[in-house]
């Protein structure tokens, strides 16, 4: 029999033993209070998160990719974070990928037995031709998901960087990764429902891993997402606004240079800040490895 008794995410929360007797307002008050403890748990893991980000940046600079692996909610959160990197940071879809036990079908429907397989994780990574320049982040609220453990073990065999993210202390997956991030959130409001506090903790950590890694490879200038891709009307206007904020230019100037730069926000910013043409701006950015600040300092 699978023993989950030692996992705090599976234990009952003494503050919520009477959920079905409480008013809506009372339940919401409890949930809100419990959620406030999550950020504190994440804060305690900042040293390990720092190590993880530095490793991801190092591998990105070598042309490596980032893979998130998980089952259920953990897998879905990884897929979400990976997908958001494309419009936010202008990354190639291959650069950050989310792998979920059971493949795409598992995004909306539970796939029986997928998370319990030690072989599906390695198989998914083999399909992506994992290399020693890549980074694999295994995500499991329980910290014991076989799909994730199998993937991490294969990644280590391939000499890829390995990072684990669990919501229990002394998690099993921590033994299968070079860098172990543990964010113990305690018992869930609804016993065992790890889409709640555990999911929130995972989302906070994934936000950090992707965002700070992208800062580390030049995808951000000041606090602006200067590699945003203008793929729709809203993002076109956001692009112009970013140019205005980065350069103090007026709307007309930002819009004009944006078009001259073939709708490349970074190039437009460098053109305005340095007074050079598009070709020279492109050259300076290439020499600065994509860091806008290095083209003007």
β pairing state of 161-166 and 96-100: unpaired
Whether 258 contacts 268, CB under 8 Å: yes
Q: How crowded is the C-beta side of 23, counted as CA atoms within 13 Å?
A: 3
Active site annotation includes 84? yes
Whether 151 contacts 136, CB under 8 Å: yes
Cα separation of 52 and 191, whole Å?
30
Strands (E) located in 13-145: 66-70, 96-100, 135-140
- Among 84, 178, 278, 280, the active-site one is 84
Tokens of 156: 């280590």
Cα separation of 81 and 58, whole Å?
20
Residue 18 to residues 15, 23, 121, 189, 191, Cα–Cα distance (Å): 8, 10, 39, 11, 12
Cα separation of 275 and 158, whole Å?
47
Active site annotation includes 188? no
Query: Angle, to 10 degrees, between the axis of helix 24-44 and the axis of helix 197-216?
Result: 40
Mapped onto helix, strand or coil, the DSSP state of residue 170 is coil
Query: Among 160, 269, 154, which residue's Cα sits nearest to residue 220?
Result: 269
- Among 34, 115, 182, 188, the active-site one is 115
Phi then psi for 95, rounded to 5 degrees? -70, -40
User: Annotated active-site positions, please?
Assistant: 84, 115
């Amino acid at each position: 029999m699978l023993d989950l008794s030692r996992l705090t995410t599976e234990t009952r929360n003494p503050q919520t033993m009477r959920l079905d007797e409480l008013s809506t307002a009372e339940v919401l008050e409890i949930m809100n209070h419990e959620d406030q403890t999550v950020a504190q748990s994440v804060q305690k893991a900042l040293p390990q998160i720092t190590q993880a980000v530095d490793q991801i940046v190092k591998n990105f600079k070598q042309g490596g990719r980032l893979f998130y692996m998980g089952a259920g909610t953990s897998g879905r959160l990884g897929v979400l974070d990976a997908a958001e990197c494309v419009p936010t940071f202008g990354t190639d879809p291959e650069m950050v990928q989310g792998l979920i036990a059971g493949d795409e079908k598992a995004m909306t429907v539970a796939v029986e037995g997928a998370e319990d397989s030690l072989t599906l994780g390695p198989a998914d990574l083999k399909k992506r031709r994992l290399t020693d320049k890549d980074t694999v982040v295994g995500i499991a609220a329980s910290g014991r998901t076989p799909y994730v453990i199998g993937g991490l073990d294969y990644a280590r065999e391939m000499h890829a960087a390995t990072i684990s993210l669990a919501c229990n202390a002394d998690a099993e997956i921590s033994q299968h990764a070079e860098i172990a991030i543990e964010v113990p959130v305690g018992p869930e409001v609804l016993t065992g429902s790890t889409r709640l506090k555990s999911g929130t903790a995972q989302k906070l950590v994934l936000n950090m891993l992707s965002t700070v890694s992208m800062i580390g490879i030049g995808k951000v200038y000041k606090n602006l997402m200067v590699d945003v891709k203008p793929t729709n009307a809203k993002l076109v206007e956001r692009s112009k606004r970013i140019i205005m904020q980065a350069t103090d230019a007026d709307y007309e100037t930002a819009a004009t240079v944006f078009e001259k730069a073939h709708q490349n926000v970074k190039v437009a910013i460098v053109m305005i800040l340095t007074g050079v043409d598009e070709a020279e701006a492109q050259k300076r950015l290439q020499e600065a490895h994509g860091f806008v600040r290095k083209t003007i300092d």
